[in-house]
């Protein structure tokens, strides 16, 4: 009797199992191939209160998904940006940036600005594109760049300086600042409490809580009073996130006891222990788990508010931004970076609210920001980092027009007021060309109106109207799409 030879081995015993294993092998091969054509860049998005981080991220995602307003992003201008889509974020322990809720606020009737950043969050947006290099394109064809967008309050970044400061040095610095204008008036009650406190006395929890509450009240008042002051920390005191009400925030600066030493069990020693605990349990993990993994960084800066509060506020802003840039450890990464620590290769400082000025003042706004950072930018460039400044509005709330003022035609802005939605025409004023030309007391150099978001912005199929958001994107990821 003739016929086909009997099947032997594993195939005979389990043909279905073999097919399943082959299918899994095929899936694995495809996953490996896909991984070879995928790249990931982790972008930090931060800025001080009311600089517009939430709107920036929402508009960035919306415009990349729709792709119609990205003329300055080289991959989009060259027709190589194929599509963008949201994907599950890689870190499930980190809260997700609530893009949909923020988009819904902008799409409301009336449209509303979304809530500001109160804690860190993350979102992954994947871009499908064709590489710009011809040879790479022949080999890779279509590629994917994952953008891991990490949003966190800018006030938290100032805490990174605490890693190199003792409690004594930090206390001395804060007290010196608070005894001088413009902080002296706002900090008067807290400084009076410090002067009346014997730091060498025995520690007790009630005194520590009272000092921390008074210090936090000063920080909150300085932030909410629209003073233009930037260096307000520790960051979790003004933006506590999940630490709200925690004993870990129950400390404050004190004057060093007479003689320059404090015994064990004293109020000073207890405050020092709490400071060290905050630094080790809050600041170090933030640096290790989030900040140290950042590849690219954009910092949103409200320069206009500082300008309206005069030279002292602008100088304070400059000092804070320079401290931030130093904390980023800017520079070019190498094979040794895994051992020595990663550096941030690209940093973009963006002066927000550019839609509050006519177009002919945007370069001046960006140049003012660059002047505040000039020395530190040069140092970063020497270390191989790309640091730049620009003026932008992630969502444009005004239109430029011309109107007559005192008999002359001037560049003005048209927008809908936040309070009642009335359309108004406003002349915003003119910002100075140099920091030394800023008046000491500020005044109203720029009329910063509170405008509503433009109606129907999220419904535009081209994406949201903006000013230079695409320029910022090209500086952050243009090379990674090439």
> What CA–CA distance (Å, rounded) separates 340 from 343?
9
Residue ranges and CATH numbers for the domains of the chain are: 36-152+290-481 (3.40.50.300), 166-285 (no CATH)
Q: Predicted confidence band at 43 (pLDDT cuts at 50, 70, 90)?
A: very high
Of residues 403 and 8, which shows the higher confidence score?
403
Residues 94-140 pLDDT 10s = 899 999 999 999 999 999 999 877 778 999 999 999 987 766 666 66
Closest CA relative to residue 194, chosen from 183, 178, 170, 182: 178
pLDDT for 363: 95
pLDDT for 7: 44
Q: What is the pTM of this model?
A: 0.84
Q: What is the edge-to-edge ordering of all strands in the sheet holding 81-87?
A: 81-87, 121-129, 143-151, 38-47, 296-301, 346-351, 386-391
> What CA–CA distance (Å, rounded) separates 43 from 293?
9
pLDDT at 335 over 70: no
pLDDT for 10: 39
Residues 50-100 pLDDT 10s = 789 999 999 999 999 999 999 999 999 999 999 999 999 888 888 999 999
**CA-based R_g, the chain, Å:** 27
Quote the percentage of the chain above a pLDDT of 70.
87
Of residues 460 and 153, which shows the higher confidence score?
460
Quote the percentage of the chain above a pLDDT of 90.
52
Of residues 242 and 122, which shows the higher confidence score?
122
Closest CA relative to residue 476, chosen from 147, 70, 154, 68: 147
């Amino acid at each position: 009797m003739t016929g086909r030879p009997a099947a032997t081995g594993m195939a005979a015993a389990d043909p279905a199992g073999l097919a399943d294993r082959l299918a899994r092998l095929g899936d694995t091969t495809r996953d490996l191939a896909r991984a070879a054509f995928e790249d990931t860049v982790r972008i930090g998005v931060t800025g001080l209160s009311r600089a517009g981080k939430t709107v920036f991220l929402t508009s960035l995602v919306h415009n990349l998904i729709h792709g119609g307003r990205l003329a300055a992003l080289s991959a989009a201008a060259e027709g190589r940006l194929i599509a963008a889509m949201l994907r599950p974020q890689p870190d499930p322990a980190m809260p997700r940036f609530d893009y949909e809720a923020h988009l819904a606020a902008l799409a409301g009737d009336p449209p509303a600005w979304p809530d500001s950043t109160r804690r860190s969050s993350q979102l992954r947006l994947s871009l499908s594109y064709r590489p710009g290099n011809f040879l790479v394109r022949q080999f890779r064809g279509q590629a994917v760049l994952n953008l891991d967008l990490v949003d966190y309050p800018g006030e938290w970044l100032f805490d990174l300086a605490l890693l190199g400061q003792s409690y004594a040095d930090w206390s001395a610095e804060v007290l010196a600042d608070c005894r001088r204008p413009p902080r002296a008036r706002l900090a008067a009650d807290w400084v009076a409490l410090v002067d009346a406190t014997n730091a060498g006395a025995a520690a007790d929890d009630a005194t520590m809580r009272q000092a921390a509450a008074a210090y936090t009240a000063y920080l909150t008042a300085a932030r909410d009073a629209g003073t233009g002051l930037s260096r307000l920390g520790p960051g979790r005191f003004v933006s506590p996130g999940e630490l709200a009400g925690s004993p870990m925030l129950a400390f404050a600066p004190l004057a060093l006891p007479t003689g320059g030493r404090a015994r064990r069990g004293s109020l000073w020693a207890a405050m020092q222990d709490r400071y060290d605990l905050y630094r080790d349990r809050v600041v170090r993990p933030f640096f290790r788990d989030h900040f140290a993994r950042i590849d690219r960084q954009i910092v949103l800066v409200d320069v206009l508010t500082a300008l309206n509060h005069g030279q002292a506020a602008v100088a304070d802003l400059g000092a804070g931004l320079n401290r931030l840039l130093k904390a980023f450890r800017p520079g070019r990464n190498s094979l040794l970076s895994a051992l020595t620590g990663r550096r941030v290769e690209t940093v973009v400082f963006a002066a927000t609210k550019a839609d509050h000025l006519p177009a002919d003042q945007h370069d001046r706004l960006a140049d003012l920001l660059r002047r505040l950072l000039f020395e530190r930018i040069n140092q970063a460039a020497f270390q191989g980092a790309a640091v730049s400044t620009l003026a932008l509005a992630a969502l444009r709330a005004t239109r430029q027009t011309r109107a007559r003022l005192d008999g002359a035609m001037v560049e003005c802005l048209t927008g809908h007021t936040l309070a009642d939605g009335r359309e108004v025409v406003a002349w915003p004023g003119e910002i100075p060309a140099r920091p030394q030309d800023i008046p000491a007391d500020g005044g109203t150099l720029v009329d910063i109106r509170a405008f509503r978001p433009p109606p129907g912005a999220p419904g535009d199929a081209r994406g949201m109207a903006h000013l230079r958001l695409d320029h910022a994107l090209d500086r952050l990821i243009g090379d990674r799409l090439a």
